[in-house]
Structure 1
Amino acid sequence: MSEKLRWWEDPEQVALLWKRFQAIGLDRREFIRIVGAAGGATGAALAAAACQRGEEATPTPAAAVTPPPVPTPTPPRAVGPTPTAAPSPTAVEGELAPEQVFRTNLEQDPQSFDFNRDLYCGGDESCFAMLGMFTPDLEVVPDIAERWEPNEDASVWTFYLRKDSYWSNGDPVTAHDYEWSWKRQLDPATAAPYAGFLYDIKNAEAFNTQKPGVTRDDVGVKALDDYTLQVTLEGPRGYFPILAAYIAAAPAHRPSVEKYGDKWTEAENIVCNGPFKLVRWEHDKIVVLEKNEKYWNAKNITLQRVERPIIPSEAVLQAYENNEIDWMWRGPLGQLERIRSDPQLSKEYQQFNLFGTWYLVPDPNFEPYNLKEVRRAMAHAIDRETIVKQVLKGLATVAYTFTPPGMPYYIEPDDKIRELTEYNPDKAR
């Protein structure tokens, strides 16, 4: 395997990937998980270092990062010429209900379902399929592309699309759809706020920023035929299949966009290529999806229908208790004690950890935060224990260092750290 394909060992490539994730507002936690899934502790350590250096910093040579000794990780099959097959459905015990319907709320009405134009449009991502997709372990496996392969230095990637997947109206999903969609996202006229996600593509940034002499035809993505997509990049990018699996790389249905303009994702107009299709959208009331039988893997999808009523977070618990929805992804913190003490709700609620750190950043470029004594006083004025136990009801871990337990380079607080971060009103004065 070319060393460029082992991108998780290359500080420069890891730093470039972090820039792409920053372009779409992805947080550090998700970035480190993705890189860690590819390269184990070695990759996670370089990812953490890339975050700390910041977006504009020059990538540090490999010798500057000394991760803990670990066995050489198995290369993620997303980067090789023979990707892993798409995951099979999990076996289900017992008899299935005659109608497979899942009900879960949206907290606000989507702006649109046009992910190709706006990554954070608020629609349901299952309406669209990318070239690859993520497994629960964050490995990239085939979706619309059945395989892909790089050239020698991973500066050109070729994706071979399957021939058995169709848009929900029966149109075949082709390489031309992805070429047109990615160029649409990069077109300055589209004004896509997250076009920077695709800047690894040759001339993508120059086209998007209207560099003189650079046209749409100069962008390095080209359909060689109906089912072969070639992507030429600005340099070695062993991680590119990861980008191609994100919803930020979703396609749009060109005939629908050209016919309906900004209204192309209304329920009566939209054409989808994902496992589900939008069939009903009553604004500010409900979104309804149904299984897309034209999707290549439809036979392995058990769920038939998804109903997503628009219910704000403060009302979602009542909707759950009234059997209006089957699942809510977060509930009101003020009701946590009641949920924990309720004989039924206490069995149904799940608590899990997110690897991240919440913190305040006093800017030393402004007074009075330019004074070390003021910054230390702030540290002593924050009662972390009370915030976690009383305000957050125990749904957090007190942080005395930036990196949380379980992450690479976690530092166990010593006496010096605890002295600097202890809650002490007298020192805060």
Structure 2
Amino acid sequence: MQRRTILAMTTASILALGFSTATAATVAEGDTLAEKQVFSYRLLDQFPTLDPQLNEETAGSHVLRQIMEGLMTQDADGNLRPGVATGFEASEGNTVYTFTLRDTAKWSNGDPVVAQDFVNGWRRAADPATASPYAWYVELTQMKNAAEIVAGTMDPTELGVEAVDDHTLKVTLNQPVPYFPAMTSYATLSPIHMPTVEEFGSDWTAPENYVGNGAYTLKEMALNEYFTLVKSPTYWDADSVIIEEVTGLVINDVNQALTRYESGEYDMLEPLPAGTYPRLKTERPDEAKSVPRLCSYYYAINQRADAQPELRDPRVRQALSYAVDRNVIVDQILQGGELPGYNFAHAATAGFEMPDIEYAGWTQAERDAKAKELIAEAGVEDLELKLIYNTDENHKKIATVLSQMWKQKLGITVTLSNMEWSTYLDVRRGGNFDLARVAWCGDYNEASTFLDILTTDQEQNDGKWSNAEYDKVIAASKTSDHPATEYKAAEQILSDDMGIIPVYHYANTFLLDPAIKGFPMNNVENNWYAKDFYRVAD
């Protein structure tokens, strides 16, 4: 058996992940700390849950990153760094990973964090009884027996993860996944304090009950208003944590959010109102930021058996996509450095080879002409569609412009319906739509984080697009020596069949108070940790 530590590994995929030994905030020479160390930011929507195994969206992930810590975390450049684990060894051709856990890690109630806590959390995520919307993520790791457990045909205790002792965790995979350590930084693979869950049931996430192992603890929360976190005295690296308190304010109206930022109510606003970045960059050059963001914005097309029959015709789906003038969206509406999207995986994805999508090279006039031709071939007349999106001025502007494009170019009438976040997620999952706004942000920096979610049985595939050849190619990528080839082929199939309507690849446009230092500008996943921040004096 060949064993190599991460610091000596030569596998290209592992090295691409990078590795950092940094822990928390490092004050730059010459900086004077402010007397009050606080950080506050705006959230677009109230996160539905702070249960790491039930979370499925970005707002909750940002909070969970502060109050829960996985085996590995990320530094400012997106490199892996130690979390609860001090490091790991890969063996058996990257099918067995052995993590060494630090003996100083503690839960917020003072209990030690041990390997069994990770075993419990991962089993819980895969267990159908938990009904985790991210159970597929456990299966995606290729952990032994994960697929069978998620399908309900095997007991969760058979999952390929074992507590060798309190500080040694062994993970066995069905096949090599060189980027597996990076996957452990996501909230789904957090440990869990089972005595708390068993005592309080679904109420365990209430502030007065919550037991986490992150740098902060949940102090208070008012739904749809705000939450407050405070520095955890039991965190293993508490001495390096400078920010004492973190506050999040839920503000649905992006224009109101900007006004409140400008009045000094909080330190960070993301995203910016559509089209405001150029002006704000001029007016606030030290505050306005635009950096790559590993997210893709698209519309799911409902292809369930009871959906509009016209949408099951690839010609209609192609016409809808071709008629979208993406340059209008990124250059006239957003204006924040976003890229037009003609494929799914973000252009900044590590190791991704962009496919040659034919219609991406056409002029918009050529795309429009082809769209009209396809609609005529399909014999579609007087088609009426329902488009849903979660409440946000930016989403509304994009949906309004796209509906006008489809009406003017194709004669298709689109009714827009917006709703608050939790309701929107339920409606989208239930398939009560024709078109649905979706954004997918990478859970780790590798193309499979995008492409896997569009396979036939994937829970996050809300449009229920299904293509046997696509599924076959994605399956082949799991054992490929050069999966970029399969990813490229999958993107081509997706484009030819137009399983979704890509719109744009994100840039992260935001405002940040210059007093806040340590924000990870080069982390394309936008995985920030408040423990890395500090506030300088005015």
Residues 1:85 and 2:21 are matched in the alignment: yes
Deviation string for 1:8-62 (max 9, x for gaps)? xxxxxxxxxxxxxxxxxxxxxxxxxxxxxx84xxx6xxxxxxxxxxxxxxxxxxx
Alignment partner for residue 81 of structure 2, among 141, 166, 170? 141
Mark the runs of 5 or more structure 1 residues left unpaired by the alignment.
7-37, 44-73
Deviations, residues 120-151 of structure 1 (Å, cap 9, x unaligned) = 38431210000111223322222101121123
Query: Displacement, 1:409?
Result: 4.8
Map of 1:69 onto structure 2: none
Matches of residues 229-268 of structure 1 in structure 2 within 5 Å?
229-268=169-208
Indicate how the Cα distance of structure 1 residues 326 and 168 shifts in structure 2: closer, same or farther if over 3 A, else same. Answer: same
Structure 2 SS opposite 1:206 = helix
Relative to structure 1, is the Cα distance of residues 208 and 363 closer, same or farther in structure 2, using a 3 angstrom cutoff? closer
Distance 1:377 1:237 in 2: 37
Q: Which of 115, 136, 141 does residue 196 from structure 1 map onto?
A: 136
> Does the CA-based 8 Å contact 1:130-1:251 persist in structure 2?
yes
Which of 151, 154, 157 aligns to 1:217? It is: 157
CA RMSD, Structure 1 to Structure 2 (Å): 3.9
Instruction: Indicate how the Cα distance of structure 1 residues 290 and 359 shifts in structure 2: closer, same or farther if over 3 A, else same.
Output: closer
Instruction: Tell me how far apart the structure 2 counterparts of residues 354 and 399 of structure 1 sit (CA, whole Å).
Output: 13
Determine which of 230, 237, 246 is the counterpart of 1:306. 246
In the TM superposition, what is the alpha-carbon distance from 1:287 to its structure 2 partner?
A: 0.3
Query: Tell me, what secondary structure is at the counterpart of 1:242?
Result: helix
CA 1:205–1:422 in 2, change beyond 3 Å: closer, same or farther? same
1:351 to 1:424, Cα distance in 2 relative to 1, 3 A: same
Match of 2:267 in 1: 326
* Partner SS for 1:177: helix
Higher normalized strand content (fraction of residues): 2
Q: 1-side partners of 2:115 and 2:242: how far apart?
A: 28
* Structure with more contact order per residue of length (Cα contacts < 8 Å, sep ≥ 6): 2
Please state how far the C-alpha of 1:396 moved relative to its aligned partner.
3.7
CA deviation vs aligned residue, 1:69-121 (integer Å, no higher than 9, x gap): xxxxx83577xxxx753446333332111110001122222222101233338
Give the structure 2 partner of residue 352 of structure 1.
Answer: 291
Q: Are residues 1:206 and 2:148 paired?
A: yes
What are the residue-to-residue correspondences of 1:86-235 with 2, within 5 Å?
86-87=22-23, 89-92=25-28, 93-120=30-57, 122-123=59-60, 124-125=63-64, 126-199=66-139, 200-211=142-153, 214-235=154-175
After superposition, give the CA deviation of every residue in 1:246-268 in whole Å (9 maximum; x if it has no partner).
22211221111011111101110
User: Is the contact made by 2:100 and 2:167 (CA closer than 8 Å) also made in structure 1?
Assistant: yes
Distance across 1 between alignment mates of 2:317 and 2:119: 54
Going from structure 1 to structure 2, the CA distance change for 1:370 and 1:167 (only over 3 Å counts) comes to: closer
TM-score (ref. length: structure 2)? 0.57
Choose 348-357 or 326-335, whichever is displaced more.
348-357
Secondary structure of the corresponding residue to residue 219 of structure 2:
strand
Q: More deviation in 318-327 or 163-172? A: 318-327
* CA–CA distance in structure 2, aligned partners of residues 191 and 371 of structure 1: 33
Partner SS for 1:230: strand
| Helix, strand or coil at the partner of 1:280 | strand
Alignment of 1:287-302 (within 5 A): 287-302=227-242
Q: Which one-letter code corresponds to 2:266 in the other structure?
A: I
Residues 141-173 of structure 1 show CA distances to partners (whole Å, capped at 9, x for unaligned) of 221011211233222221111001111110001
CA contact (8 A) 1:158 1:231 kept: yes
Distance change in 2, residues 1:309/1:242 (3 Å): same
User: Contact 2:260–2:266 at 8 Å: present in 1 too?
Assistant: yes
What's the TM-score once normalised by structure 1's chain length?
A: 0.70
The verdict on how the C-alpha distance between 1:149 and 1:77 changes in structure 2, with shifts beyond 3 A counting, is: farther
The alignment covers a number of residue pairs equal to 355
**Residue identity (%):** 29
Alpha-carbon distance in 1 for matches of 2:289, 2:315? 42
**Structure 2 residue matching 1:263: 3-state secondary structure:** helix
